[in-house]
């Protein structure tokens, strides 16, 4: 058993693989507080620069799972399957997907997080619904899965406490992008939540944490491998995040668009990504294809909307309540006529963040009504001076910084852009 954290740091700094004993010594020590933040930061940077081998990462992930409780969902009475997105701009798919897959016969235990930086968080979005509660005790999670089929809530303090500490540290040490640390952070929580199957939505493009396809593919492959190593049936779809997904970006705005989708409408790109993920989830859950398990039918006939209403009500919310509306509205207009060739997802995400919908630190409050609506998307023909974006804010003083963020985010040309597939790759 390693007894010196400096040996652990040196091993990884010099490109070596950490032994099982070194991994457990570090994860247990840092969780317990016997290893200092600066020492953990040094190891995270060494991992970013030196990487981890598959076996080493599997042990690291298991140690993070073992740092806390593991939920037992065996009494739910339905096959369990979850989905995780690596984060994007306008990505409200989870809001539609959880009730949709539950309407097809599975149970979806979606333990979700909050937004940080330019990407939105599912819990922040749902908290725009009056009365909705993010924090549930374990017995209520299990009961809601049994009775409703879907739950979206915060992970408890006792689930993967090692990840809770490491995530906060990575955020302030420029090590968020380390693929082994991203993969272990996501997969330790998903495995600890007790789901039998998992579908991953790995974003690629300007609005993703990993904009390059090679790194996004590697992250997807790494997470699928970790899932298989820990007995969780896992599939990943790599999906496009070069432009915002859908039209609405921001907490309450995205809830409204998700409900529109559950009512059989919604933007075509949101519907396409949602159905692609839903079909993978239904298949992994072992439900028979077609019939009552067909996601497209459950979306069209109102069953998914009924589960949404029940899910929101069970967590204290009012699905019929009016969502908050921002008092400040500012239009961003086309600088010329032609074809909209690019609408940069990251730039729009940063603008939405600056408008008040996101946070710089985990403890920052967020506005439920701030955000942006994309009136036009790449591939649309636009007229000179036509509104392209509408920015929403609670405070007029936030608008100039948001406008600066989207300056240069729009490209208009004489020809339409080449179409980009939304579903880039499937990795199993």
Which helix (DSSP H) or strand (DSSP E) does residue 223 occupy?
helix 213-229
DSSP percent split of the chain into helix, strand, coil, nearest 5? 45, 15, 40
Query: Does residue 2 have a pLDDT over 70?
Result: no
Q: Which CATH superfamily is domain 5-50 in?
A: Transferase, Pyrimidine Nucleoside Phosphorylase; Chain C (1.20.970.10)
Domain 328-413 fold is Aldehyde Oxidoreductase; domain 3 (3.90.1170)
Residue range 199-256, pLDDT digits in tens: 999 999 999 988 999 999 999 999 999 999 999 999 999 999 999 999 999 999 999 9
Residue 340, classed as helix, strand or coil, is: strand
Query: Does residue 379 have a pLDDT over 90?
Result: yes
Cα 231-234-240 angle, rounded to 5 deg: 160
Catalytic residues: 82-85, 122, 170, 185, 189-190
The reply to whether 5-50 and 81-314 are identical in fold is no
CATH class of 81-314: alpha beta
The pLDDT value given to residue 72: 93
> Please, which residues have CB within 8 angstroms of residue 240's CB and are 6 or more apart in sequence?
203, 204, 205, 420, 421, 422, 423, 424
Residue range 37-73, pLDDT digits in tens: 999 999 999 999 999 999 999 999 999 999 999 999 9
The pLDDT value given to residue 279: 98
Report d(CA 211, CA 208) in Å as an integer: 5
Query: Does residue 194 have a pLDDT over 70?
Result: yes
Residue range 114-170, pLDDT digits in tens: 876 677 789 999 999 999 999 999 999 999 999 999 999 998 888 999 998 998 898
Helices 93-103 and 268-284: crossing angle in degrees, nearest 10, is 40
Q: Read off the pLDDT of each residue in 16-25 and give the average, rounded to a whole number.
A: 96
Report d(CA 401, CA 173) in Å as an integer: 25
Report d(CA 252, CA 346) in Å as an integer: 19
Q: Where are the domains of the chain?
A: 5-50, 81-314, 328-413
């Amino acid at each position: 058993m390693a007894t010196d954290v400096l040996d652990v740091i040196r091993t990884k700094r010099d490109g070596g693989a950490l032994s099982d004993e070194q991994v457990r010594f570090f994860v247990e020590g840092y969780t317990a507080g016997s290893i200092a933040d600066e020492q953990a930061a040094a190891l995270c940077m060494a991992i970013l620069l030196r990487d981890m081998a598959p076996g080493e990462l599997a042990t690291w992930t298991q140690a993070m799972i073992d740092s806390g409780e593991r939920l037992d969902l065996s009494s739910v009475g339905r096959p369990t399957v979850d989905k995780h997105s690596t984060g994007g701009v306008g990505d409200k798919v989870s809001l539609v997907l959880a009730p949709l897959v539950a309407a097809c016969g599975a149970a979806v235990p979606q333990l979700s997080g909050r937004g940080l930086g330019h990407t939105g968080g599912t819990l922040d979005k749902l908290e725009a619904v009056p009365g909705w509660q993010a924090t549930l005790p374990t017995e209520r999670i299990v009961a809601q899965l049994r009775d409703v089929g879907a739950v979206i809530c915060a992970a408890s303090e006792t689930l993967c406490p090692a990840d809770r500490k490491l995530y906060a540290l990575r955020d302030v040490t420029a090590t968020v992008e380390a693929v082994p640390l991203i993969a272990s952070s996501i997969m330790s929580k998903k495995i600890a939540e007790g789901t039998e199957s998992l579908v991953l939505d790995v974003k690629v493009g300007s609005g993703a944490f990993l904009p390059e396809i090679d790194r996004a593919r590697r992250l997807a492959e790494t997470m699928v491998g970790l899932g298989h190593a820990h007995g969780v049936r896992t599939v990943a779809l790599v999906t496009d995040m070069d432009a915002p997904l859908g039209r609405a970006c921001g907490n309450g705005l995205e809830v409204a668009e998700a409900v529109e989708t559950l009512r059989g409408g919604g933007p075509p790109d949101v519907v396409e990504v949602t159905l692609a993920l839903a079909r993978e989830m239904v298949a992994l859950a072992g439900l028979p294809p077609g019939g009552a398990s067909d996601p497209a039918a459950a979306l069209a006939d109102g069953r998914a909307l009924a589960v949404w209403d029940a899910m929101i009500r069970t967590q204290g919310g009012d699905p019929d309540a009016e969502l908050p509306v921002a008092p400040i509205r500012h239009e961003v207009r086309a600088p010329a006529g032609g074809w909209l060739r690019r609408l940069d997802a990251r730039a729009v995400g940063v603008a939405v963040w600056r408008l008040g919908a996101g946070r710089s630190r985990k403890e920052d409050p967020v506005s439920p009504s701030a955000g942006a609506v994309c009136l036009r998307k790449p591939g649309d023909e636009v007229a000179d001076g036509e509104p392209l974006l509408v920015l929403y804010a609670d405070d007029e003083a936030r608008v100039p910084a948001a406008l600066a963020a989207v300056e240069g985010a729009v490209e208009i040309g004489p020809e339409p852009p080449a179409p980009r597939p939304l579903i880039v790759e499937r990795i199993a």
